[in-house]
Amino acid sequence: MTDLEKIAEKWQKKWKKAKIFEVKADSKKKKYYVLEMFPYPSGKLHIGHVRNYSIGDALARFKRMQGFNVLYPMGYDALGLPAENAAIKGKTQPREWTYQRIKEMKKQQEMLGFSYDWNRSYATSDESYYKWNQWLFEKFYEKGLVYKKNAIVNWCDSCSTVLANEQVVNGKCWRCKNEVKEKELEQWFLKITGYTEELLKDLNKLEHWPERVKLMQENWIGKSNGVNIKMKIKDTKEVIETFTTRHDTIYGMTFIVISPEHKKVLDWVKGKEIKGKVKEFIEKVKKESLIERTSTKRKEKRGLFLEKYALHPFTGKEIPVYTADFVLQDFGTGIVQAVPAHDQRDFDFAKENNLPIIVSVQPEEKELKAEEMQEAFEGYGILANSGEFSGMSSEKALDAIADKLEKSGQGKRAIAYKLRDWLISRQRFWGTPIPVIYCEKCGVQLVPEKELPVKLPEKAEFTGKGNPLNSVKEFAETKCPKCKGKARRETDTMDTFFDSSWYFLKYCSPTKEKIFERKETEYWMPVDQYIGGIEHAIMHLIYARFFTKAIRDLKLLKIDEPFEKLLTQGMVLKDGKAMSKSLGNAVDPGEIIEKFGPDTARVFILFASNPESELEWSEKGSETAFRFLNRISSLMQENLNKAKKKKKLNSKKERLLQSKIQRTVKNTTEFIEKLELNKAVSELMQLTNELQKFEEKNSEVFWSGIEKLILMLNPFAPHLSEELWEKTKGKGFSSLEKWPEFDKKKIDLTVEKEEEFLNSVKKDVEHIKELVKKEKTEKVKVFVAPKWKWKLLKKLFKEKEKTENKRIEFGQAMKKAAELEKTHKKELKGFVQNAVKKLNEMQEFIEIKEMEVLKENLKELEKEFEAETELVKAEKSKEQKAGNAFPLKPAILIE
RNA sequence: GCAUGGGUAGGAAAGUCCGGUCAAAUCCGUGGGGUUUAGGACCCCAUCCCUUAGUGGGUUCGCAGGUUCGAAUCCUGUCCCAUGCACCA
């Protein structure tokens, strides 16, 4: 309601004025760096943004209250296509459009009351930011981490630019979902493959990353251990190399497949009759979009015989060489040994082309016969038809065969990765200009450091065709920095993922003179908690890790990994579907803020679901949150007049409430620490209920509960927290208060457990009653026995069951008592005895004529069954090993 | 196909690591009552099924088995769902 809105505005102003969220590096203080993935400024805040920032702000506020020096910044990933598309559509320029959106977005963020240090904010489209993109590019160039090459690249028609491999999702453009084509172009690459091993290995260091993200990166890197095998081509001096991880099947090789893009293919068919056919085939493959080519739905494999034979390295047999579309150019060597018996793809191809099948690995269960096989056997087994290796297991053969290849110089162990170098050229305007000049005489020249940044022109024409930078003469035409002659500027710009690969470093020290102040940056880094969407699991998160390592190797920083903890938040759904503009089902968070204020929006979104799970949007949900906040508010304000004459009480109820308050403090703290914020809110709701039910609203406990509740509310509903804090205390900021600390001493276990315990006893008694009724007996014996004696008891009574018609059952109350006595020895001295007493008293309620309660009186029984003492001992040590506290339980004997 | 994470009351979502206090927190929804000019809001009670004044009984935590005196919780198998990867040799 407007009330909450007014409060929000009031406190946002106060915070700003008092500058309470501005921070400085201070080596004396413990730091904590909370970071959300910065947004692309599309203008309006999406509900997913609200969720993202509500999580981050809750943590930032929590850590701040715990006494940490908290860095919590916000910025804008402001370069990129949408601005340019807007320019094509309308009369605006990308710059104008972008900064307008940033303004709008920032306003909304401020309305929500996030505790950012706005002083450190920037946009990647600021010249003072992208200057350092260019600077880094040059440093990387000098280090050999940047290179230009002619390559087959992924081309998106609708974005009219190339894409990195990471940006191709299922053969489609990650942004516009258009099908991606192959195109041959000269482009700039970053040598991320120089860090493949480290990127893979260091995943182990990331203990606090979600397993699935690490797994996705691992898969993306795609390491395969295998061998490269050299094979001579018959009647020539040529040697080709195949890569395989299954060299144990080498004797099953019946043909070779080379990828259609491989240079050798055209070489080989030169001047031959099949040339035409082969060329046609290659063209066909190239024209196919990636999605068609890699579809698993298509089973048939297309290929051609190249009229060449390779010689088997061990047997010297002639092996025909084919080219086929199922072999990829850029994995391994682009050539594979085909073993139809043990690889499904090879099997399919062999069947279609009538190629022989040789079984070289036999599974253990049955014997394979080549003629009868319906599918390939891809498992490990025992080698057959494999010369000297026949009879060996696959596992052993892998090593033995690799050894033999290496010794004979016919091959060596090799590792292949799926990860390729990162293509960063983009044929677009609104990106960081690549600081390179092409001179006819001097070739590729870097723009001298002093001349950085290479600025984007103020204006350009956006026709939607080609890169607008090409048509800006002042930009494209330049002089060679070396010979001062006529030269042309690189008009490709950088992939915007370049910008976001190091932006978290810039927040640490917003200086303009350097890329960053080392000392400050090293103080703040690494990011302690990073929060963002799962969609960046590979692209952004692997690039950022790569940059951090590369920057370390430039000796600019000493940090290996940028993000200590990672939380990947779930999506916000409506009717089970992701919300999106294109589906037209997006909820505007602005409406809720207007209706209920920012606190409500935040509490609702945090309470509705665990941050990692998906969140189902509901209209009612925000009302709940709103009511909850109002309830706290009125609970406090209605009783404010009673606060002055606080009474000290010492009733059981009061002690129970005190315990409850402490439990809430403990649980809430732990939940926020684990970022299980929905549970934290639930805890606060429970405490609110308890406080409301508590009758003595003028008591000290009640008010200490209220105070703690208000403080613990700050991370979730900061404005209301401040308002209520001011009302109780008269001054100050709750945001600057100390987070309530759990005080074990204030928990009154005795009282707390009493009821619980009595209930247990009651249950046991009731159980006894029931048994009595069923068994129609009038006599009951209750033994209180350690658990390790149960086995014995059981045996004992099994006998009696037969001979004397007696039964045994086990209760639980005494166990409870015993456990408590053990873990809380001092507080609960004599609890067990009490329990026994209670149990005796309970007899009154049971219509049993005779009931004995005996504690550990089993010695006599043991004597009766002396042979069983060994059993008892064994059970006892087993229990103790398992660390069971004090497994004392009553055994009930019915006679 | 491979990998990971899940399946809990009308809905969302705790509890599962560490078995007994679990017919199972919390929130919504639904029903009843109080307050209110009405609506809303607020407060109280109920909400798996049968039964009672309190109470008692029955059936539940995807499905099927197993371990145990005792299983939502441990073990085995199985089905379903979500996400990611996928002609990677």
Q: What distance in Å separates the CA atoms of residue A317 and residue A682, rounded to the nearest whole number?
A: 73
The CA distances from residue A458 to A96, A472, A687, in Å, are 10, 10, 58
Angle at A645 between CA A642 and CA A651, to 5 degrees: 90
Q: Which of A108-122, A302-316, A359-373, A604-618 has the lowest mean pLDDT?
A: A604-618
Asked if residue A616 keeps its beta carbon closer than 7 A to nucleic acid strand B, the reply is yes
Local confidence band at A256 (pLDDT 50, 70, 90 cut-offs): very high
Q: Report the pLDDT averaged over residues A582-599.
A: 76
Which of A193-197, A600-604, A879-883 shows the lowest mean pLDDT across its residues? A879-883
Closest residue (Cα, C1') to B44: A693
Q: What is the pLDDT of residue A155?
A: 86
Between CA A373 and C1' B85 the distance (Å) reads 28
pLDDT at position A429: 92
The residues pairing with A227 across neighbouring beta strands, listed in sequence order, are A244, A413
Residue A443 pairs in a beta bridge with: A439
> Residue A867 pLDDT > 60, yes or no?
no
Q: Beta carbon of A760 within 7 Å of strand B?
A: yes
Residue A847 pLDDT: 40
Element housing A815 (H / E): helix A813-823
Q: Please identify residues in chain A, positions 650-689, with a C-beta within 7 angstroms of any atom of strand B.
A: 678-679, 682, 685-686, 689
Confidence at residue A808, expressed as pLDDT on a 0 to 100 scale: 47
Residue A71's DSSP bridge partners are: A33
Query: How high is the pLDDT of residue A814?
Result: 45
| The nucleotide closest to A884 (CA, C1' atoms) | B18
Q: Calculate the alpha carbon distances from A180 to A21, A163, A166, A295 in Å.
A: 46, 9, 12, 14
Residue A589, classed as helix, strand or coil, is helix
Cβ A528 vs Cβ A33: under 8 Å: yes
SS3 state of residue A104: helix
Which tops the pLDDT comparison, A804 or A270? A270
- Compare A420 and A799 and report the one with higher pLDDT: A420
Report the range out of A507-521, A540-554, A562-576, A674-688 with the highest average pLDDT: A540-554
CA of A170 to C1' of B8 (A): 36
* Predicted local distance difference test score (pLDDT) of residue A386: 92
Distance measured from the CA of protein residue A885 to the C1' of nucleotide B68, in angstroms:
18
Q: What is the pLDDT of residues A625-679, one digit of tens each?
A: 888 888 888 888 888 877 666 777 677 778 878 888 888 898 899 889 989 898 8
DSSP-derived letter for residue A438 is E
Interior/surface letters A443-461, b for 16+ CB within 10 angstroms, e for the rest: eebbbeeeebbbebbeebe
Q: What is the pLDDT, as a whole number, of residue A616?
A: 73
Establish whether the linkage from the previous residue to A589 is cis, with ω within 30° of 0.
no
Residue with tokens 């049993």, as numbered in its chain: A848
Pair of tokens at residue A287: 């024209």
pTM here is 0.86
Could you give the strand order of the β-sheet that contains A31-36, starting from the edge strand earlier in sequence? A69-71, A31-36, A527-533, A563-569
Pairing of strands A563-569, A527-533: parallel
Q: Which of residues 446-505 of A touch strand B (CB under 7 A)?
A: none
Q: Which residue has the tokens 């940006």?
A: A167
Residue A779's pLDDT is 53
A646 touches strand B (CB under 7 A): no
Residues of A (339-378) placing their beta carbon closer than 7 angstroms to any atom of strand B are 343, 345, 348
d(CA A20, CA A65): 12
- A335-355 pLDDT tens trace: 999 999 999 889 989 988 899
Residue with the bigger pLDDT between A112 and A751: it is: A112
pLDDT band at A866 (very low <50, low <70, confident <90, very high): very low
β-bridge mates for residue A488, sequence order:
A438, A477
Retrieve residue A329's tokens: 């150019």
**Residue A448 reports pLDDT greater than 70:** yes
Nearest nucleic acid nucleotide to A169, CA to C1' distance = B85
Mean pLDDT over residues A885-894, rounded? Answer: 38
* pLDDT confidence bin for A765, thresholds 50/70/90: low
Which residue minimizes Cα–C1' distance to B13? A609
The token pair that represents A44 in the structure block: 């309006």
Cβ(A700)–Cβ(A646) under 8 Å? yes
Q: Where are the beta strands (DSSP E) in A440-497?
A: 443-446, 477-479, 486-489, 493-494
**Owner of token pair 């600019």:** A556
Question: For A807 and B23, how far is CA from C1' in angstroms?
Answer: 28
Q: Which of residues 530-569 of A touch strand B (CB under 7 A)?
A: 534, 538
d(CA A83, CA A430): 7
Nucleotides on strand B with an atom closer than 7 A to protein CB? 3-5, 12-15, 20-21, 25-29, 41-44, 56-57, 69, 83-89
Whole-number pLDDT of residue A77? 95
Q: Which of residues 388-427 of A touch strand B (CB under 7 A)?
A: 416, 418
* Residue-wise pLDDT tens digits, A812-863: 444 444 444 444 444 444 444 555 555 555 444 444 444 444 444 444 444 4
A165 Cβ nearer than 7 Å to chain B strand: no
How many Å apart are CA A735 and CA A733, to the nearest integer?
5
Name which residue leads in pLDDT, A185 or A543: A543
Query: Which chain A residues in 818-837 sit with Cβ < 7 A of strand B?
Result: none
Q: Which has more pLDDT, A809 or A518?
A: A518
Peptide bond into A453 cis (omega under 30): yes
pLDDT at position A125: 95
- What tens digit of pLDDT does each residue of A159-178 get? 888 888 888 877 788 877 88
pLDDT score for A717: 93
How is A29-90 classified by DSSP, letter by letter?
SPEEEEEEPPPP--SSPPHHHHHHHHHHHHHHHHHHHTT-EEE----B---SHHHHHHHHHS
The A436-439 sheet, strands edge to edge: A443-446, A436-439, A486-489, A477-479
Q: pLDDT (tens digit, 9 = 90+) per residue, A474-532?
A: 899 999 988 998 999 999 999 999 999 999 999 999 888 899 999 999 999 999 999 99
pLDDT at A267 over 50: yes
Judge whether residue A777 contacts strand B, using its CB and a 7 Å cut-off.
Answer: no
The pLDDT of residue A633 is 87
Q: Identify the bridge partners of residue A25 per DSSP, sorted by sequence position.
A: none
Higher pLDDT, A698 or A96: A96
Hey, CA dihedral for A116, A118, A119, A125, is it positive or negative? positive
Report ipTM for this prediction.
0.86
Give percent of chain A with pLDDT exceeding 70: 79
Which pLDDT value is given to residue A793?
Answer: 57
Cα–Cα dist A69/A523, whole Å: 11
Decide: helix, strand or coil at residue A642: helix
Report the pLDDT averaged over residues A567-591.
Answer: 72
The answer to whether the beta carbons of residues A346 and A360 sit under 8 Å apart is no
Instruction: Report which of residues 272-331 in chain A place their beta carbon less than 7 angstroms from any atom of strand B.
Output: 293-296, 298, 301, 325-329, 331
Most confident of A515-519, A688-692, A782-786: A515-519
CB burial of residue A477 (10 Å; 0-12, 13-18, 19+): exposed
pLDDT at A398: 92
Averaged pLDDT of chain A = 81
Name the closest nucleotide to A538, judged by C1' and CA.
Answer: B84
